[in-house]
Amino acid sequence: MGRRKSSAVSSLAALIILCVASLALFTVYVKEGDSGPLHTVQLGASEVLRPVRGLLGLAASPLSAASERVGNVMNVEEKRELEEKVLEYEEGAAEAARLRQENERLRQLLDGQRPSFTYSPLASVVAPVGGQLTKRVKINVGTNDGVQPEQPVVVGNNTLVGRTTNQVTPNTAEVVLITDQSFAAGVRIVPPSGSDDDSSDDSHGEGLLRTNWEGYLGVDYVDLSAEVERGDFVTTSGRAGDRELLFPPGLFVGTVESVSSQDIDQYKKIVATPAVKAKDLQEVRVITDW
Amino acid sequence: MLETVQISVVRAALLVGLAAFLESALSPLLTFGWVGPRFLILGVVVAVAGLRDLQALLLGFFGGVLTDALSSALFGAGALGGVIAAAISVRAGDMRRKRGTGLYFAQTVAVAVAAYDLVALFATALVGQGSPPILSYLASGMFPDVLLNALLAYLAGGWLLRLLVAKEEAWT
């Protein structure tokens, strides 16, 4: 009887000690820098597991492709081509709209093929990573290709899909997608190029791009007087208050899906549709300098 | 007549190691929204089912730390989840004899996954990465997650346990 009681006490003590050890690990991980030991362990493991993750991703791809085929009536290949064309059109339209809104000096600067952008080599999305509450992917370029933490990740020339996190190894980089709740970017809302509205930039609205807990991409802090309409383009503004530029201006993010506001609201409630869905991501590029 | 089983510690450790690997490498590919298989929890609950308390808790902690190291998740959250899963499995040990292996694993994994999801939610909220309101998460995230993993445990728990058994004894 006494031995059983003693065993129960020692088990409880072990449970408490291991829980405290777990919490200590958590605290150290949060407090340590990106070069701390726990982060280094994760980076090393990420590098080692890269081929395995790639293989597993490859093995899982037929499953997702099959479910996509069942869900879609249209031919997958045809649909992909159409989506690419739509994306190309929207990119061009957003670019044109943005340029029309800029002053003459900026228009001349950005005319043509964005000479100030430097891209990493084309990168493949290796696999999704992280827990159920995050939307992150791993790509197969890293510091060897000039990729650094906190750089914009795009599809095509200028469609923003996310940014790199601090988890960058020589051959891989972790990307937090724009639909992750920890992602935020200063954005500007511009009307489609066919619009006759030639009012100033501010009247079309600027705000902060964020994803709420329900998974909806939204633009927060847009003034009630802003003339935002469904179908307007959302592009990066290149600024976030007084903070250093995290994204260059003019990257296409998505289109406005709905706009609403009530009398008691201080700002408009804007829901946007991302230009590229996370599940469609295959090849991306990192803007390494601008 | 009741049965008691003696689990091989080495096999249990291997199962937990494999579960941690699958949790970090395969689980993100099979996660839809907030719902996905929790291989770590399933592995820990099954592996520690016949172990002594201290062995069970240490194995749960080991599996959690391994998962944290292999994934990009918040370090420590997986470790805590593993320890809690092991503790729940140990405490629920008597139920297996009364209710049968399948139901036992389903119920134990359900409780352990619920605890694991809550730990992940609070850890995410603590570091300010943004987390959903708890009631919405309970309804549309944790509940279906628990159901899915309980079903997996019901189907696979008994089979996994048979792989771990070193010696089976019958007693009356």
Residues 6+ positions from A259 with CB-CB distance below 8 Å? A228, A229, A230, A268, A269, A270
- Region A67-91: what's the mean pLDDT? 68
A57 touches chain B (CB under 8 A): yes
Interface contact flag, B130 A181, Cβ < 8 Å: yes
Residues 6+ positions from B133 with CB-CB distance below 8 Å? A213
Does A110 score more than 60 pLDDT? no
Residue B28: count other Cβ atoms within 10 Å of its Cβ: 26
Task: Name residues of chain B where pLDDT drops below 50.
Answer: 1-3, 171-172
Asked whether A163 and A150 are in contact (CB, 8 A), the reply is yes
pLDDT digits (tens, 9 = 90+) for B89-105: 988 876 666 666 778 88
Interface contact flag, B75 A214, Cβ < 8 Å: no
In A, minimum Cα distance to B131 occurs at A213
Distance from C-alpha of B165 to C-alpha of B158, rounded to nearest angstrom: 11
Mutation to test the B interface, candidates A7, A11, A26, most B Cβ within 10 Å: A26
Distance from C-alpha of B164 to C-alpha of B14, rounded to nearest angstrom: 10
Domain limits, chain B: 2-171
pLDDT digits (tens, 9 = 90+) for B17-39: 999 999 988 888 888 778 889 99
Residues 6+ positions from A137 with CB-CB distance below 8 Å? A125, A126, A127, A128, A129, A162, A174, A175, A177, A278, A281
Residues 6+ positions from B28 with CB-CB distance below 8 Å? A127, A128, A129, A130, B36, B71
Per CB-CB distance under 8 Å, the chain A contacts of B117 are 132
ipTM above 0.90, yes or no: no
Distance from C-alpha of A232 to C-alpha of A192, rounded to nearest angstrom: 6
Residues 6+ positions from A35 with CB-CB distance below 8 Å? none
* H or E element that contains A177: strand A173-177
CATH 1.10.1740 fits B2-171, yes or no: no
Convert A55-91 into a string of H (helix), E (strand) and C (coil).
HHHHHHHHHHHHHHHHHCCCCHHHHHHHHHHHHHHHH
Interface contact flag, B65 A38, Cβ < 8 Å: no
pTM of this prediction? 0.66
Distance from C-alpha of A204 to C-alpha of A227, rounded to nearest angstrom: 5
Does A26 score more than 60 pLDDT? yes
> Which CATH number among 2.40.10.340, 3.50.50.60, 1.20.1290.10, 2.60.40.1190 corresponds to the domain A71-290?
2.40.10.340
Ranking A25-29, A163-167, A244-248, B10-14 by mean pLDDT, the lowest is A244-248
Per CB-CB distance under 8 Å, the chain B contacts of A134 are 124, 129
Nearest to B28 among A14, A18, A129 (CB): A129
Ranking A60-69, A145-154, A250-259 by mean pLDDT, the lowest is A60-69
